[in-house]
Amino acid sequence: MRRLVLIAVPYLWLLALFLVPFAIVLKISLSDTALSIPPYAPTLDFSAGWEGIRSFFAELDFDNFVWLTQDDLYWKAYLSSLSIALVSTAITLLVGYPIAYGMARAPEEWRPTLMMLVILPFWTSFLIRVYAWMGILSSEGFLNQLLLWVGIVDEPLTILNTNTAVYIGIVYTYLPFMILPIYAALDRLDGSLIEAAEDLGCSRLTAFWLVTIPLSRNGIVAGCFLVFIPALGEFVIPSLLGGSGTLMIGKVLWEEFFSNRDWPVASAVAVVLLLILVIPIVLFQRNQQKQAEADQ
Amino acid sequence: MKSKTLTLTAILALGGAAAFAEEVRVYNWSDYIDEALLEKFEAETGLDLIYDVFDSNEVLETKMLAGGSGYDVVVPSGTFLQRQITAGAFQKLDMSKLPNIVNMWDVVTKRTEQYDPDNAYSINYMWGTTGIGVNVGKVKEVLGEDAPINSLDLVFKPENMEKLAECGVHFLDAPAEMIPMALKYLGEDPDSHDPDVIARAEDVFMPVRPYIQKFHSSEYINALANGDICVAVGWSGDILQARDRAAEADNGVEIAYHAPKEGAQMWFDQMAIPVDAPNPDNAHKFLNFIMDAQNAAAASNYVYYANGNKASQEYLAEDVIGDPAIYPDQETLDNLFTTTPFEPKVQRVVTRLWTKIKSGT
């Protein structure tokens, strides 16, 4: 009995916080827009009994998903989001790994302070930190003033309202999510393994490549997913730092909701986005499982 | 958005206490009221006034059609009001609670009837035109003394825009106003609902698109006033506010507004009460307060928009009632056009076209 309750809790959690909202979104994605409150039809009418439910299901269709394939805006936005998310995940990894490595190698008594420094930015609202980047990156901003003063550039660089600014924003915002899991993996790493590798004739670099990286693989994978998944659907960063040419699916979703006021198509976009995300998550899960089996 | 979330959190935190506080929640356009009026309202009525702002009719409509917005008074423009009335988003006004309705101006109420028959659901707050704001000095420096600052040629001719790009141009992010403007420029019916005619607007925007720094519906007030940009296609009063701010800052920036000579869109921002407003009585008090002649005049004197209140005119400042950019003369008035709401299918064409114009795809 206790076992049953223990299993039921996470499933209830999944049902209440994921499956039910998803079912609602899916239902809206199958309806049509209407000038009413709420702005779509049909709505489920329980008072009409069984007949009402039947006619409700009869009216649902996949037109909105067909529409997504007919306009090139959507797949372009998905592709561009995927590439922005992939590139920024790669940059975050390149920047985050050395930081995590340095933290794990730092003297024991420094580590809590270093950890604190990584977490510290979370004390300020995410929105304010992104706004701060607008001040730094604008043509009259700190960065350009510094570059002009040092003499590296002759005229201000246009960074704000470009994709470069979006990359900077994403890498900056999600860096802690990359550092923390990698640090956790490296922290557990047994130092004597590297000593053994070196005793057996590995150079430090080879030892790092053959021992440290494979043993921190779990941390790397976890970090990459923690960055990639939210970056793919990112809305705030591209809308504040990106230009009108920055095409991301989060922005398209916003436009469908607020400019077109077309909830069904917006829901269809969200459903497809979720499917795109579910694939890497499933791969991740399988990877974790394999790892667990290999460990046993 | 942010401030709204905070307010909501505060309400949740206060819980029961909030239920006892007498309040009225108003959702109005940004930079659209004299804040002294809000204090005056609280002092006169003893109500707590919660005042949030937006800068797009589209965002307001999304909230209205979602229902349960929690607002008591909202301010959609004419065509949006008409659609939302059809959707059942508003309640009929109780005229017995609005004695100041006698102050309203028939010139305006006659025109708003096309959106709200008998003016049963709304009162006019402000009206104005959509036109061109220029930093006179900079534009003349770039284009010469005879720059066409009162014509759509200024913003729709690529050779002009190419030169203006160096000092910065903003366009409104409002397809329901920008597309009719382009159609008017082409000599088409600006109120056309024919997708083929609407599609022709693309030919107007695409060649000038690379020279537009930003599509935004509120940033241009500050940007014009600070001299960051030299041209903005925007709303009359907003540009006149920029003129006023520049004059106050005494920074050598001279801003002028023109309704384009080809014809300009005339719009009406109407105050209405959502059907599910939590405090409809207090909402009526707010509307009645706004329709008071002196209050309406104070609002117009501050935001530089004309109001629909006849009785307020004797209290208007000379630089408001006497400015043809705000209270146009008969000739300009004849040259103004109004539009009607798009059907959902046409709406999709319009928004898709607008996305294409903004993003290039």
Using CB atoms, which residue from B59, B214, B351 is nearest to A260? B351
CB contact under 8 A, B88 and A36: yes
B332 is a domain residue: no
Tens digit of each residue's pLDDT (9 = 90 or more) over B43-92: 999 999 999 999 889 889 999 998 899 999 999 999 999 999 999 999 99
B103 is a domain residue: yes
Using CB atoms, which residue from B2, B59, B86 is nearest to A258? B59
Using CB atoms, which residue from B56, B354, B359 is nearest to A245? B359
A95: containing domain: 71-295
Minimum Cα–Cα distance from B57: chain A residue? A259
B86 is a domain residue: yes
- Split into its structural domains, chain B has a count of 2
A22 is a domain residue: no
Nearest to B286, CA basis, from B106, B123, B172, B132: B123
Mark whether B261 and B140 lie in a shared domain.
yes
B28 is a domain residue: yes
Rounded Cα–Cα distance for residues B270 and B76 (Å): 6
B333 is a domain residue: no
Domain at A76, CATH number:
1.10.3720.10
Residues A249-279: b if buried by 16+ CB within 10 A, e if exposed: bbbbbbbbbbbbbbbbbbbbbbbbbeeebee
Rounded Cα–Cα distance for residues A145 and B211 (Å): 25
Nearest to A138, CA basis, from A179, A112, A180, A168: A168
Tens digit of each residue's pLDDT (9 = 90 or more) over B182-230: 999 999 999 999 999 999 999 999 999 989 988 888 889 988 998 889 9
Mark whether B258 and B279 lie in a shared domain.
no
ipTM of the complex in this document: 0.72
Nearest to B1, CA basis, from A39, A236, A136, A241: A236
Using CB atoms, which residue from A36, A161, A261 is nearest to B62? A261
A16 is a domain residue: no
CA distance B208 to chain A (A): 14
B209 is a domain residue: yes
CB contact under 8 A, B348 and A247: no
What's the pTM value of the predicted model, to 2 decimals? 0.78
Mark whether B12 and B94 lie in a shared domain.
yes
Establish how many alpha carbons lie within 13 A of residue A125's alpha carbon, considering only the half-sphere containing its beta carbon: 6
A17 is a domain residue: no
Chain B residues with at least one Cβ partner in A under 8 Å = 2, 56, 58-59, 61-62, 64-67, 83, 86-89, 175, 214-215, 275, 344, 347-348, 351-352, 354-356, 358-361
Tens digit of each residue's pLDDT (9 = 90 or more) over B17-45: 444 568 999 999 998 999 999 999 999 99
Task: Give the Cα-Cα-Cα angle A182, A186, A187 (nearest 5 degrees).
Answer: 115
B146 is a domain residue: yes
Domain at B116, CATH number:
3.40.190.10
pLDDT band at B316 (very low <50, low <70, confident <90, very high): very high
- Give the Cβ contact number of residue B211 at 10 Å: 18
Mark whether B159 and B242 lie in a shared domain.
yes
CA distance A265 to chain B (A): 11
Mark whether B23 and B67 lie in a shared domain.
yes
A193 interface with B at CB cutoff 8 Å: no
Containing A9, the helix (H) or strand (E) segment is: helix A2-14
B79 vs A contacts (CB less than 8 Å) = none
Tens digit of each residue's pLDDT (9 = 90 or more) over A85-99: 999 999 999 999 999
A35 interface with B at CB cutoff 8 Å: yes
Mark whether B28 and B114 lie in a shared domain.
yes
B235: containing domain: 129-266+338-359
CB contact under 8 A, B64 and A37: yes
A153 is a domain residue: yes
Mean pLDDT throughout B343-348? 83
Mark whether B26 and B112 lie in a shared domain.
yes
B342 is a domain residue: yes
DSSP annotation of A212: I
Interface test with B, best of A24, A70, A244, A255 (most B CBs within 10 A): A244
Residues B241-277: b if buried by 16+ CB within 10 A, e if exposed: bbbbbbeeeeeebebbbbbbebbbbbbbbbbbbbbbb
- Split into its structural domains, chain A has a count of 1
Mark whether B92 and B191 lie in a shared domain.
no
Mark whether B152 and B216 lie in a shared domain.
yes
Rounded Cα–Cα distance for residues A138 and B64 (Å): 35
Mark whether B78 and B45 lie in a shared domain.
yes
User: What percent of chain B clears pLDDT 70, i.e. is strictly above it?
Assistant: 94
Minimum Cα–Cα distance from B343: chain A residue? A35
Mark whether B166 and B241 lie in a shared domain.
yes
A25 is a domain residue: no
Mark whether B50 and B148 lie in a shared domain.
no
Rounded Cα–Cα distance for residues B72 and B94 (Å): 14
CB contact under 8 A, A39 and B352: no
